[in-house]
């Protein structure tokens, strides 16, 4: 597939609908496909850590989440069609899954969040089958039990919402043991489905200002957000050195 190499991370040049179609097609596959939606902070993390870059590049689908990544792709003369955020892809995918026999498992968030998200998703997408839920706070030694729980639910589609880079690492380490056919790392999406976190209003999303809205809502993000200007500068100075 057509990709743009942003600081060593090979991002698919794909929009929301096509990404959802592709993931839906994975559900009839033989193994668990890995889908990540990196923003500039995650791409910077991969730029600084080769092992993490390898995890990102091993994905079956890597979409551009965040205005920084969209702008970087344009700067490198390989634009992406649009921002393809994890939450938006998840919504499209739930729409399609609701009309099928496939079921979905929701993994992540604080205790109670995945259950609340499940009940809101059932209201919003009639016909959807939620095979199970599990909160995202666990000790590493509990992972085999979590994998068994997900497998015995029979879900084909798995949302892993542990925040980045935890969810990407978890999916990468466990994909070989999962019987689900697609695992998506979709960050805080369960909080949005559950209604515990509000998504930025359309105005902010349309003008590439979602980061600003989140900063106003969660000032603790300020430190994390210094990654955005660092990312922009690094792409400007070094971006063209990566082979396209």
Given a contact cutoff of 8 angstroms between Cβ atoms, the answer to whether 85 and 62 are in contact is: no
Rounded (10°) angle between helices 166-174 and 50-57: 60
Smallest gap from Cβ 136 to ligand UDP, in A, equals 2
The rounded distance, in Å, linking the Cα atoms of 158 and 123 is: 19
In the three-class reduction of DSSP (H, G, I as helix; E, B as strand; rest coil), residue 200 is classed as coil
Position 228 contacts ligand UDP (CB under 6 A): no
Q: Which of 163, 179, 200, 230 binds ligand UDP (CB under 6 A)?
A: 163
Smallest gap from Cβ 228 to ligand UDP, in A, equals 13
- Give the position of tokens 């070094």: 238
- Considering only 61-69, 90-98, 116-124, 186-194, which stretch makes contact with ligand UDP by CB under 6 A? 186-194
- Of 6 and 76, the one with the shorter C-beta distance to ligand UDP is 6
Position 137 contacts ligand UDP (CB under 6 A): yes
- Give the position of tokens 């923003």: 39
Distance set, CA 125 to CA 90, 108, 109 (Å): 12, 20, 21
- Of 108 and 239, the one with the shorter C-beta distance to ligand UDP is 108
DSSP secondary structure string, 39-78? Answer: -HHHHHHHHH-HHHHHHHHT-SEE---SHHHHHHHHHTT-
- Of 76 and 89, the one with the shorter C-beta distance to ligand UDP is 89
Position 192 contacts ligand UDP (CB under 6 A): no
Q: What does the per-residue mask of binding to ligand UDP show for 205-224, with x meaning CB under 6 A?
A: --------------------
> Could you tell me which of 192, 232, 244 has the C-alpha nearest to residue 208?
232
Position 90 contacts ligand UDP (CB under 6 A): no
- Considering only 20-28, 58-66, 107-115, 140-148, which stretch makes contact with ligand UDP by CB under 6 A? 107-115
Task: Using CB under 6 A, count the residues that bind ligand UDP.
Answer: 14
């Amino acid at each position: 597939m057509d990709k743009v190499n942003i600081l060593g991370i090979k991002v698919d040049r794909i929009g929301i609908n096509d990404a959802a179609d592709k993931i839906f097609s994975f559900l009839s596959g033989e193994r668990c496909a890995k889908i990540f939606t990196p923003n500039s902070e995650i791409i910077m993390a991969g730029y600084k850590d080769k092992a993490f870059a390898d995890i990102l590049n091993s994905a079956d689908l890597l979409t551009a989440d965040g205005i920084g990544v969209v702008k970087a792709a344009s700067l490198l003369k390989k634009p992406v069609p649009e921002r393809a955020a994890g939450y938006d892809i998840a919504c499209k995918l739930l729409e399609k899954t609701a009309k099928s026999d496939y079921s979905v498992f929701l993994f992540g968030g604080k205790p109670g969040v995945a259950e609340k998200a499940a009940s809101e998703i059932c209201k919003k997408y009639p016909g959807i089958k939620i095979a199970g839920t599990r909160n995202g706070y666990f000790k590493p030694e509990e992972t085999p039990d979590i994998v068994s729980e997900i497998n015995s639910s029979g879900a084909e589609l798995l949302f892993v919402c542990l925040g980045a880079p935890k969810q990407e690492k978890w999916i990468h380490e466990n994909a070989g043991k999962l019987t689900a056919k697609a695992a998506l790392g979709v960050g805080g999406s369960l909080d949005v489905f559950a209604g515990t976190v509000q998504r930025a209003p359309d105005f902010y999303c349309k003008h590439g200002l979602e980061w600003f809205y989140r900063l106003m809502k969660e000032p603790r993000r300020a430190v994390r957000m210094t990654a955005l200007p660092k990312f922009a500068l690094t792409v400007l100075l070094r971006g063209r050195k990566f082979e396209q």
